[in-house]
Structure 1
Amino acid sequence: MNTIISLLCRLTVILATLFSFQAVAVERLYYVAADEIEWQYAEKHHNLMMDMPLMPEQQVFVKASENTIGSKYKKALYREYTDASFSQLKARPASEQHLGLLGPLFRAEVGDTIKVVFKNNGTRPYTIHPHGVFYDKANEGSPTNDGTSGKDNLDDRVMPGQTYTYNWQVPETAGPGPADTSSVVWVYHSHVNSIRDSNTGLIGAIVITAKGMAKADGSPKDVDREFINLYTVMNENESWFLADNIKNYLTAPASDDITEDEDFVEGNLMHMINGYLFANLPGLTMVEGEKVRWHLIALGTEVDLHTPHWHGHTGLINGHRTDVVELLPASMKTLDMTVNNPGIWMYHCHVNDHIAAGMTALYQVLAK
């Protein structure tokens, strides 16, 4: 009897220890730089969703000419590095290849802390400003006329060559609510000049998983795959690098009034999903029978009313069945889908002008 009691006591201690380990909050550490690079919106100048040549009016978005920049632009993007030396980029896993120009995906479980060591490798001041998570004035990532000074303002503008460390808490209010799925999405972006900074490319996503529902990497236990898609009309006319892009990519010297040219202005409105046009977006591949979670975010102006639509499947959002989701600027929504229909399917914004301008993609469901 004493032996049994002793064994039970030991088992109780072991179980208590295991549960205590699960309850310990985790610091999620990321090394992120703002890098100024060349971005390719459409490597293939072809309507890949329809497998047909681009119409003449669509060429304005991809063809370099004397009055259109084409599909390549200088941009500033958030990129993840392996350590504080910022000497080696961290390779993206296959599951994140679809992120495109989005910054590294920050993951956390409710109760964790997100720590981002941010280095500005660019030529202008940039920051990281998060939505959803908890931050104090020293970690807001935005210059604000709020009466603060000293160390509370060091995060407001990270100057070229400087490094700043952001610390964000992940309380219950940052995680899923009663009607949500086990993980929810938030956006982050530079906020020195939020309009120009985001149109220059400094945007990313944060996924927060409910307490007790996260794997070791912070992803939810109850889904097989997650995709994060940014729908926005990236306005290159508002980029900090407009002058550089005119100089680097126009096929002839620009006239003084090129920025007033109708084709030039229109051609700089990149109707993109994660930085890609005309179904050039890679990596939207899944397997029959999987539970797939789609996190959808948007930014932009009054033209950024988007309606992502999936062919071949429906999903659930807040308990409602749909195959179309409504997005407005800075909105963030999550849809769950069980994929059961193998094939290659259209996935696109259903706004007519946006379809025509290339806000389209393809997703593939592989048969088991």
Structure 2
Amino acid sequence: MYGNQPGLTMCKKDRVSWHMIGMGTDTDMHGVYFQGNTIHLRGTHRDSLALFPHVSTTAFMQPDHAGIFRVFCSTLYHFQRGMNQIYEVSSCGNKDPSEQPYGMIRTFYIAAEEVEWDYAPNKNWEFEKQHLDGGWERYHRRCRRGVSRLGSHMSNVETKNALVLSAQFWQTRDFTQGHESLGKLPSVHGDIFMNHTENWIGSQYKKVVYREYTNGEFVEIKAQPPQEEHLALLGPMIHAEVGDSILIIFMNKANRPYSISAHGVEDMESGKGLPVPVTKPGEIKTYRWNVPKRSGPGPSDPNCIPWVYYSTVNFVKDTYSGLMGPLITCREGVLNEKGRRSDIDSELVLLFLVFNENESWYLDDNIKKYLNKDPRDFKPSDDFEESNKMHAINGKIFGNLHGLIMNENTMTNWYLLGIGSEVDIHTIHYHAESFLFKGHGYYIVMYLTTSMLAWRQPTQSFETSVLLSVDNRIPYSTKPPSRGASHPATAPSNEEPGKEQLYFLGKNLGPRGAKAALVILFIIGLLLLVVMVILSLTLRSARKRVAYQEVQSCALPTDAL
């Protein structure tokens, strides 16, 4: 615990195998994170992997620079309690220079600022759902009969667990009548998260977020394009290609220290045995991240893969307070002159996280403002703590996330992000649409990309389908393309769904290689056409000469006339 594991040493450029084994119970669900380097996992590039009980896996790493790094469980509950270690990379006389940036320097002006955040500005969805859900009594009776039949074969604890499961799933209020000895079961109706009472804060909280500005004066917030409206609580979407450098000019407009760091990329401050530099309130600092080849997509990845940037002053509290945003790294040639993807039509980012406001830096401020009570004298109840666990997508609950719009017959990439604790196990279901995905499932601090070809116009929704999760459905919609606008559908290969790559003679080509191959093939085809025309004319001429010679050989001699 707490970095006391010896022997995790290696040399720069070594080919290292990490063999990881998961044991234990249902609480042993781990998101293993490797700081400072990425791992190669079945043809993909990651810096995190999921480890479940009684499951083992092997990941490969080739560290590219010397330093001291951490490997830890990013399940926030486990991280707080010491599940982190140190691994050391020594140069060992290896003088091979680290990969140097050779692409663009992409500059972003980002500030951390405090806001009053509303998880559910519109509460009609959940309230109407409660009134329309008239079949719950029928399920109540059915579940109660089923548990009664099993009662003789179950212990008291098992019976209680079954009742909790049924009550939470069917959202009943009086399911425990006749089972008072089992205790009061929690309600999962949305009113505990949305209603403001003398004991519940409601849906509004003070939080801190990343926001992008137009320049280093940090006066004018950069206008958010319509396609990024869905980011909501998240910071701006940062794009970069392999070989680029990302320059973050960061200002802390909040009232406590924060920082900005990122998964996956090469942080110029990491590996020196020092934490990421802290930016105090009112200060401006510069952070630089390089994007080496290992930070970009692997052979089995799509053209772009997602990572997350966040604050590291206090990983748990900073995260629950709201500081995080998406970082997208792409293959060379994928981004256009505006820094946007040219190979697809739209990008959508979704972060699935149960925001535990009880762990936020601003809990006392929220108690003081919204409950009008002194936090020092306030004694939180179980209901109060439960009401502060917001089951959100991009910081919104119960259908309040807007901007998930796609054009009909266009290709969209969905970047799905998972962060949090052991309760953050999410199964995402898209209504009326399917998606293409080639890769591996994700868990806490895992990121993946899926592709969707939107072809239905009506508004649909997606939801997390975990049984004990609070119902959280978010609408998304497709619309016909505007007149005069061209929206080509960019679909992956039928032979390898979910993989936006081109293979030619067994070689994986990037966008630039594909264009060069197309030009070469065109020139070769043109040359072949010219050769065919020449051969055709030559053959025709030869046939005429043969026919003429045959006529000459059959002619009568002149002395016979």
Give yes or no for TM over 0.5: yes
**1:7-26 equivalences in 2 (<5 Å):** 25-26=103-104
2:431 to 288, 304, 311: 311
CA gap 1:147/1:29 in 2 versus in 1, 3 angstroms = closer
Residue 234 of structure 1 deviates from its aligned partner by 0.5
In structure 2, the partner of 1:301 is 421
In structure 2, the partner of 1:131 is 263
* Aligned equivalents of 2:370, 2:131: Cα separation in 1: 22
CA contact (8 A) 1:348 1:355 kept: no
Residue 254 of structure 1 deviates from its aligned partner by 6.7
Across the aligned residues of Structure 1 and Structure 2, the Cα RMSD in angstroms comes to 2.3
Which one is further off, 237-246 or 126-135? Answer: 126-135
CA gap 1:346/1:250 in 2 versus in 1, 3 angstroms = same
Residue 109 of structure 1 deviates from its aligned partner by 1.3
Matched, 1:29 2:107: yes
CA contact (8 A) 1:308 1:326 kept: no
Query: How many equivalent residue pairs?
Result: 327
1:223 to 344, 352, 355: 344
Partner SS for 1:123: coil
* Aligned equivalents of 1:38, 1:360: Cα separation in 2: 23
2:326 to 195, 199, 205: 205
CA contact (8 A) 1:229 1:274 kept: yes
Which one is further off, 248-257 or 344-353? Answer: 248-257
* Aligned equivalents of 1:310, 1:100: Cα separation in 2: 20
CA contact (8 A) 2:303 2:334 kept: yes
The one-letter code sitting in structure 2 at the alignment partner of 1:365 is T
Larger radius of gyration, structure 1 or 2? 2
Matched, 1:176 2:297: yes
Identity %: 39
In structure 1, the partner of 2:312 is 191
In structure 2, the partner of 1:284 is 404
Residue 30 of structure 1 deviates from its aligned partner by 0.6
Higher relative contact order by CA 8 Å / sep ≥ 6: 1 or 2? 1
Residue 47 of structure 1 deviates from its aligned partner by 2.2
In structure 1, the partner of 2:195 is 63
* Aligned equivalents of 1:46, 1:271: Cα separation in 2: 17
Matched, 1:361 2:474: yes
2:206 to 71, 74, 88: 74
1:167 to 282, 285, 288: 288
TM-score by length of 1: 0.84
The one-letter code sitting in structure 2 at the alignment partner of 1:290 is T
The one-letter code sitting in structure 2 at the alignment partner of 1:129 is S
The one-letter code sitting in structure 1 at the alignment partner of 2:293 is E
In structure 2, the partner of 1:16 is none
The one-letter code sitting in structure 1 at the alignment partner of 2:379 is I
CA gap 1:162/1:249 in 2 versus in 1, 3 angstroms = same
In structure 2, the partner of 1:20 is none
- Gapped runs of 5+ residues in structure 1? 1-22, 320-324
Residue 360 of structure 1 deviates from its aligned partner by 2.0
Partner SS for 1:266: helix
Partner SS for 1:185: strand
Partner SS for 2:267: coil
* Aligned equivalents of 1:156, 1:24: Cα separation in 2: 25
* Aligned equivalents of 1:214, 1:367: Cα separation in 2: 25
- Gapped runs of 5+ residues in structure 2? 1-100, 133-170, 172-186, 482-561
Matched, 1:348 2:463: yes
In structure 1, the partner of 2:231 is 99
The one-letter code sitting in structure 1 at the alignment partner of 2:449 is T
Residue 60 of structure 1 deviates from its aligned partner by 0.7
In structure 1, the partner of 2:27 is none
* Aligned equivalents of 1:53, 1:212: Cα separation in 2: 52
In structure 2, the partner of 1:248 is 369
CA contact (8 A) 1:213 1:221 kept: yes
Which one is further off, 246-255 or 182-191? Answer: 246-255
CA gap 1:171/1:31 in 2 versus in 1, 3 angstroms = same
In structure 1, the partner of 2:247 is 115
2:123 to 45, 60, 74: 45
CA gap 1:45/1:59 in 2 versus in 1, 3 angstroms = same
TM-score by length of 2: 0.56
The one-letter code sitting in structure 2 at the alignment partner of 1:98 is H
* Aligned equivalents of 1:311, 1:344: Cα separation in 2: 10
Matched, 1:339 2:460: no
In structure 1, the partner of 2:491 is none
1:265 to 361, 385, 395: 385
* Aligned equivalents of 1:251, 1:42: Cα separation in 2: 21
* Aligned equivalents of 2:379, 2:479: Cα separation in 1: 47
CA contact (8 A) 2:429 2:464 kept: yes
CA contact (8 A) 1:25 1:111 kept: yes
Partner SS for 2:210: strand
Partner SS for 1:219: coil
Which one is further off, 326-335 or 249-258? Answer: 249-258
CA gap 1:30/1:255 in 2 versus in 1, 3 angstroms = closer
* Aligned equivalents of 2:400, 2:330: Cα separation in 1: 30
**1:318-333 equivalences in 2 (<5 Å):** 318=438, 326-333=441-448
CA contact (8 A) 1:65 1:252 kept: no
Moved beyond 4 Å, runs of 4+: 48-56, 251-255
